[in-house]
Structure 1
Amino acid sequence: MGDETYQSPDMTSLLLGTDSLEQFLQVLVESALAMASTAHGVGITLERQHRPLTVVSAGTGAPDLDEAQYGQDDGPCLEALRTGHEIAVKDMLGEERWGPYPAYAAACGTRSSVSFPVAARTHTAGALNLYFAKVAGFADTDLFDLRTLAAQATGAIALAQRIADAEEYAADLQKAMESRSVIDQAIGVIMAQQRCSAEEAFTLLRKASQRRNIKLRHLCAELVANIGRKPPSDGRTLRPRP
């Protein structure tokens, strides 16, 4: 499909119509490949746990070319990811940056490339990478549209990260609420057994937790679980073991 007839997808509809960030990014690289008719391969690299990874690709060659850069920890893709700058390579055979990578790319049939930063200077930074078989292959491509795609990938990643952060916060909050609930139950048990105030019951539990060197919520869960068991035959009350 040529540049003249290609229509960029509506990103809002695309976001709503895809089931995952990876699926959205896959459509994005396929869109980039359609925009850049002379490119033979497109990929998106994201940094996860401080390691770069090609999460999606379209066409041919992008994963291998990306992996070659990851292996030597240097290359145009990684430079775009780390600096937040657009990196264009007009001719791999005349390139002196990035050690042996340009010669490897040329040997694989790639003579030029362009990498656009994605989500720059965040903990999920990445790059949209396009590879061309001819010298300055990107000269015939509308780079503005590709920059727009990279910006849209940035927005999608930021949204996905917010959702993930919200889910993690909700999980932490639920865990805290569950811990609070079991602690309150244990306080009630101690208050009934010792005929003391809630503050005094909490102090007893905290001291027992320190003596036994276990977390307070684990001690309280143990105590509450014991309520459902048969009480001691000698009539002793339940209390945290010292």
Structure 2
Amino acid sequence: MADEGTPVGRDLAELLGAVQNLLLNAPKVEEFLTDLAKLAADLVEPPASCGITTSYDGQPRTVVSSDPRAAQVDEGQYTGGWGPCVHSLATGEVVEIADQESDPRWPEYRVHAVALGVRSSLSLPLVVNGDVIGAMNLYDFDEPEAFDIQNRRRAETFAAQASTALALALRQVHDAELTDQLEQALATRSVIDQAIGILMAQQRCSAETAFSMLRKHSQNNNLKLRTVAERMVAKVSGQAAQQPAPFRRRPTATGIESAPGLSDGVPDA
């Protein structure tokens, strides 16, 4: 076993830098997490196996893994609700198993893990804004006590960085979803305004009266207001209602793309 002064696995600074590159380059959170698991596996030498566990509908689930073995070890814990990754996810505690064959905790899991060849393991919580949203599970199949003080510190530093990156990745997803919602709302408002303009010209009435007429027709025919407006515009113009230009996404000072207008409430012109 290497002492604290001996480099172990890939350089930690290199791995942490790779996490940031993943965040900037991975187009989807699923791909980001998959590559993150593969990077985590390289924290020790020879590489471990890594699975990332999260909770879905109240049940633990492996969302990604560096290889099939990690997923098998993870999933063997879920049925009974026992094991290091489940415990880390539930409590936010770091769980280290120095020697899987002799560790007294979770005896049913021990049989499962030993059968799959696990010699030692380390499970670390992934914490975002004070909430545990996942657990990063490292399994070594080569020797007991693979996660000595140096390796544990490396893993804890990596997990903290991964948690921060994951929080930013989730924010990107949220911003993208919000942008889609804004675009949909803008498109709805646009076609309704077009229909109101048509009614105002036809009926020689105010915008408020025209909108009331649209809404009444919508309610009487059990149709969405946007559907009523689209049909009216298409009938009068002979073509589909004109849609507004989509929101453009632009880079921020941090290099993370954001939807324009989300910070100040005013979309780009």
Pairwise TM-score range, normalised by the shorter structure: 0.7 to 0.9
Residues 1:16 and 2:33 are matched in the alignment: no
Equivalent residue letter for 2:163: T
The secondary structure found in structure 2 opposite 1:100 is helix
Equivalent residue letter for 1:112: S
Check 1:27–1:193 CA distance in 2 against 1; reply closer, same or farther (3 A cut). closer
Q: Cα deviation per residue 1:60-112 (whole Å; 9 max; x = unaligned)?
A: 72121012123434321122123221112233344454462211101222132
Larger Rg: 1
Corresponding residue number in structure 2 for 1:234: none
Equivalent residue letter for 2:212: T
Distance 2:187 2:31 in 1: 35
Check 1:87–1:97 CA distance in 2 against 1; reply closer, same or farther (3 A cut). same
TM-score where L is the length of structure 1: 0.80
Q: CA deviation at 1:223?
A: 1.1
Contact 2:99 2:144 in 1 (8 A): yes
Distance 2:201 2:163 in 1: 57
Corresponding residue number in structure 2 for 1:233: none
Corresponding residue number in structure 2 for 1:4: 7
Distance 2:130 2:56 in 1: 11
Corresponding residue number in structure 2 for 1:158: 167
The secondary structure found in structure 1 opposite 2:45 is coil
Question: Structure 1 residues 196-205 or 77-86, which shifts more?
Answer: 77-86
Equivalent residue letter for 1:43: G
Residues 1:174 and 2:178 are matched in the alignment: no
Select which of 132, 137, 156 maps to 1:129.
137
Identical residues among aligned pairs (%): 36
Distance 1:115 1:13 in 2: 21
Greater fraction of residues in helix: 1
TM-score where L is the length of structure 2: 0.73
Count of paired positions: 228
Residues 1:209 and 2:218 are matched in the alignment: yes
Q: CA deviation at 1:194?
A: 1.1
1:7-46 map, 5 Å: 7-8=11-12, 9=14, 11-12=16-17, 14-16=19-21, 19-20=25-26, 21-37=29-45, 40-46=48-54
Distance 1:120 1:158 in 2: 6
Q: CA deviation at 1:218?
A: 1.2
Contact 1:112 1:136 in 2 (8 A): yes
Check 1:91–1:11 CA distance in 2 against 1; reply closer, same or farther (3 A cut). closer
Corresponding residue number in structure 1 for 2:208: 199
Residues 1:186 and 2:195 are matched in the alignment: yes
Distance 2:82 2:215 in 1: 53
Check 1:16–1:33 CA distance in 2 against 1; reply closer, same or farther (3 A cut). closer
Corresponding residue number in structure 2 for 1:142: 151
Check 1:170–1:33 CA distance in 2 against 1; reply closer, same or farther (3 A cut). closer
Contact 1:42 1:130 in 2 (8 A): yes
Corresponding residue number in structure 1 for 2:121: 113
Q: CA deviation at 1:46?
A: 3.7
Distance 1:155 1:45 in 2: 16
Contact 2:128 2:167 in 1 (8 A): no
Check 1:52–1:229 CA distance in 2 against 1; reply closer, same or farther (3 A cut). same
Q: Which sections of structure 1, spanning at least 5 residues, go unmatched?
A: 231-242
Question: Structure 1 residues 28-37 or 111-120, which shifts more?
Answer: 28-37
CA RMSD of aligned residues (A): 2.9
Distance 2:52 2:194 in 1: 51
Q: Which sections of structure 2, spanning at least 5 residues, go unmatched?
A: 240-269
Contact 2:140 2:146 in 1 (8 A): yes
